[in-house]
Structures are given as structure tokens and as C-alpha cells.
């Protein structure tokens, strides 16, 4: 049974009682081996995990972000938790625990054939495993592979082996090493040459189990002249303990390929006093490998107690383009240190950064971004715009833009602003009959408009609602 | 319609409390047009902001009652948005920019909120667009206005026209127009005045706050009041405005001060 915790602010805060298989707490080579064995992984992947684990043991928690991260006891976490009932192979949902189907339906993600969302294929990830992927048959017709990464390791090991860790090596950072050692599932997407993916692809991440970390890994490969629109959503139960989510997303775009990656992140953010919430420590990066390839990251970060996340692009192919559109909202005691890295390597590469940070109550919202123009990147262009909005007197916003230009033909533009919702703006709108909450949501939505318009329509509607809901009780 | 009695108000600025209004009495009935005139700093804008519910001012004494559904209501019990939905409109001297929000969305939301509050049916977007068309025409505004962000990058004249457009949409019972004429060239002034006049009826009232008599050539007031140092020092008919135009404020102020002297 699903139990509703009375909560008007976070409607996804419920917990699903379900029979699960859990590995013992703590992190050791043994646990890494167990995860790998559970998935019948090939030797090379186990080796990869072990190398990552050994490397992770040499690393220290990074301190450079402007975040106050309490010590995390990595020995006191579960690294694998999965629903006991057999996960079904492609197509059939008959064997899935009905509780799981009910859970996803409640989250607005119906998985069964009759009710599923048309036009969007969904991979549903519950704690450590992918439980279902919809529309697989339709996608296979055009050669698109959309499945869990565990399945991909079995079915298309050559592709996984070729690309896994090539964009984000396990040595990249502390959380990347941790993820590479213990990742349990995630989504895999392969778009063959010349295919414009007929459906939007989407992964929905749900954390359910207590004291469990979620370490998923997503790998998307777009071959020459292909296109895919990928959406990602996340929620978790409301609890007093913090939970760790450390994911890796790797994108690869070949010649003239385009990947649009959108996220609406609504992990549980903790309560008004700052108790509980998800630690969202994510490494997302795309390689624009091919000429004229394009990758865009659009994110609406509205949840999590702490967010540490920098979706980035390596612009390797000549004429390739990277974009980062972000709205990060922090409220109560939330902290966010988020931004992007745009590394220009190929000639005539172009990047666009539009970041909108909104902070309310005692929260702290930091933009951190790097624009790096390598000596090889003649004719590179970057445009960055970083705007912060403060609501109330207690919130903080900071902008840390780093610009590193090693080619003098580059054109780099940076604009930044910090604003406060002024008493005059509020009074103006109120004097037209709009309630204070409506006024603030209108001002905030206007502020975020340049980012929201990059989202697919249904996501954009959801994003507007989410921002309104998050601000509902922060005013007055 | 509105009764202001012995209104005293102050503002806190730089750690000091400054009294701005010192006992205003004013009564406005449906169908009337009042002009409040006076030199800069006399408290004209403050008075209109207090009626609309601006939070920056402290009312220290006095009362304002406003008729809502045939009952006198204490205006201070209502928030600014409730006052607006109950029929009070303030046309701003300096309309505020709201980047990223289209005029259309803004007008549509404001209209529907007001309808909802008053138990009237709301309007969908396409009907609302049709509803706006004649109002745009009245103010000689292009439809493209609707898709621009509220007041952002508008010229002074466009901003003022936009205020009157909002007034036309919300159809208030009491319109307070704060220096609506400032920053307007003569053509724009005529259009704005035409708009205001077209909206006048025997059911609503208008209070014009203005420094110059110019606007009153186009919107003719029934009553003119001179505000000076937070008090209404003289009231009269429209001829008072012409007198002020001719002779300036000095003579009224002088008379007032002499009267005060003889009193003390």
C-alpha cells in the first residue's frame, strides 16, 4: 500500500511499501562485486567498477563549491535496493508488482499500454533499477534503442563499452568515481544514423527506499544526422533523513546530430526548518563530437536540499553548438551551486548560457560557470546571461563566472544581473487585483521565460506550476 | 462613494518619521470628477497611493470608507488587491516594468481575478482578445501592444496609454489618476483624455491628481482641491483650476497662511 504523508507542499512525498531486495549497508569491493554479479555483468565492466572504486577511496569530498555539506557517512548507506518481483523483459508489464505501477501512475507516469502518455516513451527507474520502459516496439521499428543501461550491457555491450566513461571518466570527480563504482541502473539511448526519434524519450527517477543512495547512469548516443528530445523527472518521499543521489549523464552527438536534454528536478527538498531532503550531486556532460553537432541542457531545478550540478558541453566538432538554459529555485534552507562548463575545442563553435537563479527565505543560490576557449577554437562564440532574483531579505545569490580564453578570435559576452522583487512591482500588480502570491509567481515566471520557452510544452506547463507551488508558502 | 475623514499619514525614511498628510477631508460621489492640485511635495501622490493600499505609508489617524455593495467599508481592512477588485483603480505616475510578462497575460489575469472576486464569469483567452479590441481602438493602440512585456521598453506616452487600457479593462468605480498627464505630448494627452472621458459614467467617479491645469482642459472636473503641506487648503469648482493656472499657487498658499496666522 502507498501511504500518503499529509503534505500540501510536496505532493510526491509518499512512500510505497514494497518487497525489496537490499544489499547490506556500506561500501566495499564486496558490494561493488555484488552489484556487478547481480547484473551478470561482463568482466570488463566489473574491472571498470573496481578501478573506479579504488580511485574513489583515494579521493576526498570536494570543498570548492559554495555549499555547506554535512559529512556523509558512506558506510551508513545502502547501495542497492530493488523491488523483489521480477523485472519484466521488453514489452510486457504483467509481471511487475502492481504497487509499482500504481506508484508511477500516482506520480503522473502511467506505464500500462492503455494509459501511457502518447508521444513520450518512458523508462521508469525505482531506487536502484529500471522497472519498465514503454513504447519499445515502436522505437525498435526505426532502430532506436531505449532501455535500461543494465539491459544495454547485455544486449549491446559493444556500444556501452565503446562510450561508457568517455565523456565523464571515473576519475573526473569524487561523485563520478562513486557512481562509476556502484551505479545500479539508468537509461540507455541509441539513435541510429539519420533517424529523427519519432517520440520524446523520458526517464522518471523515483527514490523510494530509506537510507538508500540512488546512483544511476544515463548514456545517450546520437549518430550522424540524428535527433532526440530527452526529458527527465525526479521525485522522492518526504523524510527527515537526507538521501544521496549521485548520477552521471553522458551524451554523445556525432556529425550534425542534435540532443536536447531537459530536466525538471523536484526531489524532496527538506522541510521549512531544513530537515531532510535529497543531496543531488550530479555530473552531466555532453560531447559534441561531430561537426555541426548540437547539445542543449535545459534544467528546472526546484527540489533537493543541496544541488551540485554543472551540465556541460565539450564542443569538439567544428561548428558544434552547446547550450545551457537553467532555472534554479531555492527556498527555505535549500542550497544550490549549479551552472555549466562550455569548453570550446573545435573551430567556429558556439555556446549559449542562460541561467536564472531565484532564492527565497534563507536559501542560497549560486551560479558557477566556466567558458573555456582552447587555442584550437578559432572563431568561437559564447553568450552568457546570468540573472539572480532575490525574494525577501534573507536569501543569498552569488555568481561565479570563469572565463578562460586562449584564442584571440573568440567573442565572449557575459551579462549578469541581480534583482529583487521590488515593493513597487508588487504594489503595481496588486493594485490590479492580483493576490501577492499571484504577483510573485507572475514576476518569477516572467523572469524565467527565456528558459521555460526552451522546454517541451508539457514540461513547460509543469515547470510553471512547480515554481508556483514551491513559492506558495514562502511569501508573507 | 468614498469618504476620507481627517486622514493623517506618515512614512518612515532614513530612520525618521515624516508626516505627509495632516488631516485630509474629502468626499467623492458617483458620477463626479475631482481634481487634486498642488505644488510638488504637497502629498498628492501619497493620498492616491494610500487609497489604493500602498504598504509604505502608515495611517496614523482618520478613516477612509468606500461603498462596496451599498455598504460603507473601512478601506484599511482590505489589502491592495482586494481594494482593486472592489473597484478602486490607481493609474500610476510611473508605471512599473514587469519583464517577461506579456501585457495580454497580465490584463487577462487581472480581469479574470476581478471577475472571480465579484462572482462574474471569467473569460477565455480568445474571447478576451475580442473584448480588448475596441478598447485598444479607443486608445489608438496597436494590437502588438498586447504581446509586449508589461511597460518594458515602453515610451512615456505608451506607458500612460497602457494605464488607461488597464482601467478600461477593469472598469473601476473609482479611478485615481496620478499625474497621468506628465510626460505626454499634446496628441497623446488628447487620446488619454478621450479614453478617460469615454469611461466616465454616473456610476463611477474619477480623482485626477495633477500639477498642471493642462489635463483639465480635456477632462473637466466638477470639483478642484488644492493640497498643500498635507492639507486641502482650498476647494472650488473648475474655475479654481483656471485661477491657479493664471496666478500660480502662491496666492492660495498666502491666503491660507494668513488665515492660519489670524487663527493662532
pLDDT tens-digit readout, A63-78:
889 999 888 888 888 8
Cell reading at A185: 541502473
- In this predicted structure, the answer to whether residue A278 has a pLDDT above a threshold of 70 is yes
pLDDT at A333: 92
Least confident of A91-95, A173-177, A243-247, B133-137: A91-95
Helices B156-170 & B125-138 angle (0-180, nearest 10)? 120
Q: What is the mean pLDDT of residues B255-263?
A: 80
CB < 8 Å to A429, chain B = 98, 106
What distance in Å separates residue A424's CA from the closest CA in chain B? 7
Residue A374 lies in a domain: no
User: Distances from the Cα of A413 to the Cαs of A238, A401, B80, B186, in angstroms?
Assistant: 42, 11, 42, 42
Tell me how long chain B is: 264
Residue A453 lies in a domain: no
- In this predicted structure, the answer to whether residue A320 has a pLDDT above a threshold of 80 is yes
> Which residue numbers of B have CB closer than 8 Å to A's CBs?
52-56, 79-81, 83-85, 89-90, 92, 95-96, 98-101, 105-106, 109-110, 113-114, 117, 149, 166, 170
A433 and B CB contact within 8 Å: yes
Say how far apart CA A322 and CA B139 lie, in whole Å: 45
- In this predicted structure, the answer to whether residue A87 has a pLDDT above a threshold of 70 is no
Residue A404 lies in a domain: no
A428 and B CB contact within 8 Å: yes
A436 and B CB contact within 8 Å: yes
Q: What is the mean pLDDT of residues A331-342?
A: 94
What distance in Å separates residue A441's CA from the closest CA in chain B? 11
Say how far apart CA B174 and CA A107 lie, in whole Å: 48
Least confident of A238-247, A337-346, B170-179: A238-247
Say how far apart CA A400 and CA B239 lie, in whole Å: 63
Place of cell 528558459: A451
What distance in Å separates residue B98's CA from the closest CA in chain A? 7
Spatial CA neighbour of A395 closest among A432, A417, A364: A364
Q: What is the mean pLDDT of residues A324-351?
A: 95
Determine whether the interchain pair A446/B99 forms a contact, defined as Cβ–Cβ distance below 8 Å: yes
Say how far apart CA A336 and CA A358 lie, in whole Å: 10
Determine whether the interchain pair B85/A433 forms a contact, defined as Cβ–Cβ distance below 8 Å: yes
Cell reading at A58: 583515494
Cell reading at B46: 501619497
Residue A142 lies in a domain: yes
Q: What is the DSSP string of chain B?
A: -EEEEEEEEEEEETTEEEEEEEEEEEEE-TT-EEEEE--TTSSHHHHHHHHHT-TTEEEEEEEEEEEETTEEEEGGGS-HHHHHHTTEEEE-SSPPP-TT-BHHHHHHHHHHHHHHHTTPPP--HHHHHHHHHHHHHHTT--GGGGGSBTTTT--HHHHHHHHHHHHHHH--SEEEEESTTTT--HHHHHHHHHHHHHH--TT-EEEEEESSSGGGGTS--SEEEEEETTEEEEEE-THHHHHHHHH-SHHHHHHHHHHHHHH-
pLDDT at A4: 34
Q: What is the mean pLDDT of residues A158-171?
A: 97
Name the pairing type of β-strands B2-13 and B57-68.
antiparallel
Determine whether the interchain pair B106/A429 forms a contact, defined as Cβ–Cβ distance below 8 Å: yes
CB < 8 Å to B105, chain A = 442
pLDDT at A8: 41
Place of cell 526546484: A302
Mean pLDDT of chain A: 87
Nearest chain B alpha carbon to A425:
B96
pLDDT at B263: 67
Mean pLDDT of chain B: 92
- What is the four-CA torsion angle of A361, A366, A367, A370, rounded to 10 degrees? 180
Q: Identify the residue among B82, B99, B149, B178 best suited for mutation to test binding to A, counting A beta carbons within 10 A and taking the highest.
A: B99
Q: Which domain holds residue A93?
A: 2-309
Say how far apart CA B167 and CA B124 lie, in whole Å: 19
Cell reading at A82: 530493488
* β-sheet bridge partners, residue A20: A83
Least confident of A17-31, A93-107, A167-181, A249-263: A93-107
pLDDT grade for A89, boundaries at 50, 70 and 90:
very low
* Number of domains chain A contains: 1
Say how far apart CA A89 and CA A83 lie, in whole Å: 15
- In this predicted structure, the answer to whether residue A365 has a pLDDT above a threshold of 90 is yes
pLDDT at B184: 87
Nearest chain A alpha carbon to B98:
A443
Domains of chain B: 2-96+175-263 (3.40.50.300)
- In this predicted structure, the answer to whether residue A86 has a pLDDT above a threshold of 60 is no
What distance in Å separates residue A443's CA from the closest CA in chain B? 7
Cell reading at A474: 514562502
Instruction: Give the Cα-Cα-Cα angle B186, B188, B190 (nearest 5 degrees).
Output: 70
SS3 category, A327: strand
Q: How many helices (H) and strands (E) does chain A have?
A: 10, 25
Least confident of A7-21, A307-321, A333-347: A7-21
Q: Identify the residue among B80, B84, B92, B162 best suited for mutation to test binding to A, counting A beta carbons within 10 A and taking the highest.
A: B80
pLDDT at B171: 95
Least confident of A160-174, A201-215, B113-127, B226-240: A201-215
Say how far apart CA A250 and CA A234 lie, in whole Å: 18
Q: Nearest by CB to A442, which of B85, B101, B170?
A: B101
Determine whether the interchain pair B98/A438 forms a contact, defined as Cβ–Cβ distance below 8 Å: no
A375 and B CB contact within 8 Å: no
Residue A113 lies in a domain: yes
| CB burial readout A191-203, b (16+ within 10 A) else e | bbeebebebbbbb
Amino acid at each position: 500500500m502507498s501511504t500518503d504523508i499529509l503534505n500540501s507542499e510536496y505532493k510526491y512525498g509518499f512512500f510505497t511499501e514494497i518487497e525489496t531486495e537490499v544489499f547490506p549497508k556500506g561500501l566495499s569491493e564486496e558490494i561493488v562485486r555484488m552489484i556487478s554479479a547481480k547484473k551478470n555483468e561482463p568482466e570488463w565492466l566489473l574491472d571498470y567498477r573496481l578501478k573506479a572504486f579504488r580511485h574513489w577511496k583515494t579521493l576526498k569530498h570536494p570543498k570548492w563549491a559554495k555549499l555547506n555539506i554535512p559529512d556523509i557517512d558512506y558506510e551508513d548507506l545502502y547501495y542497492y535496493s530493488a523491488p523483489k518481483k521480477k523485472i519484466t523483459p521488453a514489452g510486457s508489464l504483467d509481471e511487475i508488482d502492481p504497487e509499482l505501477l500504481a506508484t508511477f501512475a500516482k506520480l503522473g507516469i502511467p506505464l500500462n499500454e492503455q494509459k501511457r502518455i502518447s508521444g513520450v516513451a518512458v523508462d521508469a527507474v525505482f531506487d536502484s533499477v529500471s522497472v519498465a520502459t514503454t513504447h519499445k516496439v515502436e522505437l525498435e521499428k526505426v532502430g532506436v534503442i531505449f532501455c535500461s543501461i543494465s539491459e544495454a550491457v547485455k544486449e549491446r555491450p559493444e556500444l556501452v563499452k565503446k562510450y561508457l566513461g568517455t565523456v565523464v571518466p571515473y576519475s573526473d570527480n569524487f561523485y563520478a568515481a562513486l557512481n562509476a563504482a556502484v551505479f545500479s541502473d539508468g537509461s540507455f539511448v541509441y539513435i541510429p544514423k539519420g533517424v529523427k526519434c519519432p517520440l520524446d524519450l523520458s526517464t522518471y527517477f523515483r527514490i523510494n527506499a530509506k537510507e538508500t543512495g540512488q546512483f544511476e547512469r544515463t548514456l545517450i548516443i546520437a549518430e550522424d544526422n540524428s535527433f532526440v528530445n530527452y526529458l527527465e523527472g525526479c521525485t522522492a518521499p518526504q523524510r527527515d533523513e537526507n538521501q544521496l543521489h549521485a548520477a552521471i549523464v553522458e551524451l554523445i552527438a556525432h556529425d550534425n546530430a542534435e540532443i536536447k536534454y531537459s530536466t525538471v528536478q523536484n526531489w524532496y527538498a527538506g522541510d521549512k526548518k531544513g530537515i531532510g531532503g535529497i543531496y543531488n550531486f550530479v555530473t552531466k556532460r555532453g560531447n559534441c563530437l561531430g561537426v555541426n553537432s548540437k547539445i542543449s541542457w535545459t534544467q528546472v531545478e526546484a527540489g533537493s536540499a543541496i544541488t551540485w550540478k554543472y551540465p556541460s558541453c565539450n564542443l569538439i566538432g567544428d561548428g558544434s553548438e552547446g547550450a545551457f538554459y537553467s532555472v534554479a529555485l531555492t527556498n527555505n534552507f535549500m542550497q544550490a551551486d549549479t551552472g555549466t562548463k562550455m569548453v570550446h575545442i573545435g573551430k567556429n563553435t558556439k555556446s549559449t548560457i542562460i541561467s536564472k537563479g531565484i532564492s527565497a527565505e534563507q536559501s542560497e543560490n549560486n551560479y558557477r560557470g566556466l567558458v573555456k576557449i582552447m587555442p584550437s577554437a578559432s572563431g568561437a562564440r559564447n553568450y552568457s546571461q546570468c540573472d539572480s532574483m532575490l525574494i525577501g531579505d534573507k536569501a543569498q545569490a552569488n555568481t561565479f563566472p570563469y572565463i578562460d580564453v586562449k584564442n584571440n578570435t573568440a567573442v565572449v559576452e557575459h551579462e549578469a544581473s541581480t534583482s529583487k522583487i521590488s515593493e513597487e512591482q508588487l504594489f503595481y500588480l496588486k493594485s490590479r487585483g492580483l493576490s501577492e502570491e499571484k504577483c510573485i509567481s507572475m514576476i518569477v515566471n516572467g523572469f524565467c521565460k527565456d528558459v521555460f520557452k526552451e522546454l517541451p510544452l508539457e514540461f513547460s506547463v509543469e515547470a510553471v506550476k512547480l515554481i508556483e507551488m514551491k513559492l506558495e508558502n514562502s511569501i508573507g | 462613494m468614498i469618504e476620507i475623514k481627517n486622514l493623517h499619514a506618515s512614512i518612515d525614511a532614513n530612520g525618521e518619521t515624516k508626516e505627509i498628510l495632516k488631516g485630509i477631508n474629502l468626499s467623492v460621489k458617483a458620477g463626479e470628477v475631482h481634481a487634486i492640485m498642488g505644488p510638488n511635495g504637497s502629498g498628492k501622490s501619497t493620498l492616491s497611493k494610500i487609497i489604493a493600499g500602498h504598504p509604505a505609508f502608515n495611517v496614523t489617524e482618520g478613516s477612509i470608507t468606500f461603498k462596496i455593495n451599498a455598504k460603507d467599508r473601512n478601506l484599511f481592512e482590505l489589502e491592495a488587491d482586494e481594494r482593486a477588485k472592489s473597484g478602486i483603480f490607481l493609474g500610476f505616475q510611473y508605471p512599473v516594468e514587469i519583464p517577461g510578462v506579456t501585457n495580454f497575460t497580465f490584463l487577462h489575469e487581472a480581469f479574470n481575478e476581478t471577475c472571480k472576486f465579484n462572482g462574474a464569469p471569467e473569460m477565455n483567452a480568445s474571447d478576451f482578445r475580442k473584448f480588448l479590441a475596441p478598447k485598444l481602438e479607443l486608445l489608438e493602440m496597436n494590437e502588438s501592444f498586447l504581446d509586449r512585456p508589461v511597460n518594458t521598453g515602453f515610451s512615456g506616452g505608451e506607458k500612460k496609454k497602457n494605464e488607461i487600457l488597464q482601467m478600461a479593462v477593469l472598469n473601476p468605480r473609482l479611478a485615481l489618476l496620478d499625474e497621468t498627464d506628465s510626460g505626454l505630448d499634446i496628441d497623446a494627452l488628447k487620446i488619454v483624455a478621450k479614453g478617460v472621458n469615454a469611461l466616465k459614467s454616473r456610476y463611477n467617479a474619477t480623482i485626477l491628481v495633477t500639477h498642471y491645469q493642462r489635463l483639465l482642459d480635456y477632462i473637466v472636473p466638477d470639483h478642484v482641491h488644492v493640497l498643500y503641506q498635507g492639507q486641502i487648503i482650498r476647494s472650488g469648482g473648475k474655475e479654481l483650476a483656471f485661477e491657479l493656472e493664471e496666478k500660480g499657487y502662491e496666492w492660495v498658499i498666502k491666503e491660507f497662511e494668513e488665515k492660519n496666522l489670524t487663527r493662532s
